[in-house]
Structure 1
Amino acid sequence: MKILIIYGTIEGQTRKIARYMEDVLQEAKHAVVISNATEDPPSPKEFDMVLIGSSIHLHKYNSAIKHYVTEHVDELNKKPSAFFSVCMAVASNIPEEHEEVAKIASDFLEQTGWKTNTVWHWAGALRYTQYDYFKKLTMRMIAKKQGGATDTSKDHEYTDWDKVKTSVLDFVQ
Structure 2
Amino acid sequence: MKKAALLYSTSDGQTKKILAHIESDLEGFTCESFDLSSVSSIDLLAFDRVVIGASIRYGHLNKKLYQFIEKNLSQLEQVNAAFFCVNLTARKEEQGKDTPEGSAYIKTFLKKSPWQPKLIGVFAGALLYPRYNFLDKFMIRLIMSLTGGETDTTKEVEYTNWQKVSLFSQKVVKMSGN
With the shorter chain as reference, the TM-score category is 0.7 to 0.9
- 1:58 aligned onto 2:58: yes
Task: Quote the residue 1:116 is aligned against.
Answer: 117
Deviates more, 1:44-53 or 1:148-157: 148-157
Give how far 1:39 is off. 2.0
Q: Which consecutive unaligned segments of at least 5 residues does structure 1 have?
A: none
Relative distance call for 1:152 and 1:101 in structure 2 (3 A) is farther
Relative distance call for 1:50 and 1:102 in structure 2 (3 A) is same
Deviates more, 1:78-87 or 1:88-97: 88-97
Partner of 2:143, secondary structure, is helix
1: CA distance, partners of 2:145 / 2:63: 29
2: CA distance, partners of 1:58 / 1:146: 13
Task: Quote the residue 2:86 is aligned against.
Answer: 86
Relative distance call for 1:96 and 1:49 in structure 2 (3 A) is closer
Instruction: Give aligned-pair identity as a percent.
Output: 29
Give how far 1:158 is off. 0.4
Deviates more, 1:133-142 or 1:163-172: 133-142
Relative distance call for 1:2 and 1:100 in structure 2 (3 A) is closer
Task: Quote the residue 2:28 is aligned against.
Answer: 29
Contact 2:45 2:79 in 1 (8 A): no
2: CA distance, partners of 1:58 / 1:149: 16
Contact 2:3 2:31 in 1 (8 A): yes
Relative distance call for 1:104 and 1:154 in structure 2 (3 A) is closer
Letter in structure 2 aligned against 1:75? Q
Deviates more, 1:133-142 or 1:155-164: 133-142
Contact 1:92 1:147 in 2 (8 A): no
- Number of matched pairs: 171
Give how far 1:52 is off. 0.5
2: CA distance, partners of 1:94 / 1:147: 14
Task: Quote the residue 1:42 is aligned against.
Answer: 42
Contact 1:55 1:87 in 2 (8 A): yes
2: CA distance, partners of 1:112 / 1:155: 32
